[in-house]
């Protein structure tokens, strides 16, 4: 009797598994996976040329300051720069007095503890402080951004294939879904709350277009603030945040190469001097 009961239970499990398998197969038949849409319509970043490119590149500090202005007025509402301290901004041409003013006026204060009550508190930022986080935690970030967590931008150029070119292309790449995509992949329509961008790996991302019109940021140096210019400048700034000491590294490399060339010359001269009287 017990053996028949085990057979019955096994048959029931097998039946349930067959139903689940049939449901999965049926779903795949009627709604095939849309990875092909991303593979076919995803675009590679457009080339972007910055002054810092190449081994002999240099920082265009005026451009970096414009990029910081774009970050401050547009990107900082959602994205943090947790690996950058305010005093690091002297590296892009700001004076110590300017850095102090930027830190004090930053819209997000520094978390602190009230000495009298021991309760969480805030205080003005100081040049030695790192840029404060935009959101206190991941839950707060999701609640404010349609259940998506805006990534920190400090190392974004290093973290994304294509670097600065990817950032520039992504910012300028928002557009309506092409009719051809919807014809070939009817179920690949951009879901509500997401935005189509062919430079993003899955074609749809939660971040709305950050730069929507020319003149959105009024540059202090008088440069014409087109969308392309603003996106290029903020990409250049994020290249700097990813590696503020890049030019120091380049200079060290130049010195190392020069030393090796001199060493090779001296070694060759010593070789010729030692072996000059030896006949082959």
Q: Provide the residue ranges of all domains of the chain, joining segments of one domain with +.
A: 35-84+131-243, 245-280
**Is 147 within 8 Å of 139 (Cβ atoms)?**
no
Q: Is 215 left (phi over 0), alpha (psi -120 to 50) or beta?
A: left
pLDDT in tens, 97-136: 999 999 999 999 998 878 778 778 889 999 999 999 999 8
Dihedral class, residue 148 (left if φ above 0, else alpha if ψ from -120 to 50, else beta)? beta
Higher per-residue pLDDT: 188 or 3: 188
What CATH architecture applies to the domain 35-84+131-243?
Orthogonal Bundle (1.10)
CA distance 113 to 121: 5
Rg of the chain's alpha carbons, rounded to an integer?
Answer: 28
**Confidence tier at 31 by pLDDT (50, 70, 90):** very low
If one counts every other C-beta atom within 10 angstroms of the C-beta of residue 181, the result is 19
Average pLDDT over every residue of 21-35: 48
- Res. 63: pLDDT tops 90: yes
**H-type alpha helices, the chain:** 2-30, 35-41, 61-73, 96-105, 138-144, 156-159, 163-172, 179-184, 227-242, 246-274
* The pLDDT of residue 161: 93
**Mean pLDDT of the 157-167 span:** 95
At 249 the pLDDT is 84
| Share above pLDDT 70 across residues of the chain, in percent, rounded to a whole number | 86
State yes or no: 78 annotated in a binding site.
Answer: yes
- Ligand-binding annotation for 207, yes or no, is yes
């Amino acid at each position: 009797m017990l053996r028949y009961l085990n057979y019955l239970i096994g048959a029931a499990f097998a039946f349930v598994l067959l139903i689940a398998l049939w449901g999965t197969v049926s779903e795949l038949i009627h709604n095939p996976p849309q990875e092909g849409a991303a593979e076919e319509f995803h675009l590679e970043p457009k080339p972007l040329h910055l002054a810092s490119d190449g081994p002999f590149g240099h920082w265009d500090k005026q451009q970096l300051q414009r990029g910081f202005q774009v970050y401050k007025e547009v990107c900082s509402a959602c994205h943090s720069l947790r690996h950058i301290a305010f005093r690091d901004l002297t590296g892009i041409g700001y004076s110590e007095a300017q850095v102090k003013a930027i830190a004090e006026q930053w819209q997000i204060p520094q978390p602190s503890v009230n000495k009298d009550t021991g309760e969480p508190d805030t205080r003005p930022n100081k040049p030695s402080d790192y840029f404060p986080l935009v959101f206190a935690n991941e839950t707060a970030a999701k609640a404010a951004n349609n259940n998506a967590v805006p990534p920190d931008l400090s190392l974004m150029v290093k973290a994304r294939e294509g670097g600065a070119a990817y950032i520039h292309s992504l910012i300028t790449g928002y557009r309506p879904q092409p009719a051809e995509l919807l014809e070939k992949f009817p179920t690949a329509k951009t879901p509500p709350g997401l935005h189509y961008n062919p430079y993003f790996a899955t074609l749809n991302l939660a971040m709305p277009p950050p730069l929507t019109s020319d003149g959105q940021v009024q540059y202090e140096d008088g440069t014409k603030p087109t969308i392309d210019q603003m996106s290029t400048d903020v990409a250049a700034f994020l290249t700097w945040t990813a590696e503020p000491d890049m030019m120091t590294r380049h200079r060290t490399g130049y010195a190392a190469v020069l030393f090796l060339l001199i060493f090779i010359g001296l070694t060759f001269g010593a070789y010729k001097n030692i072996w000059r009287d030896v006949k082959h």
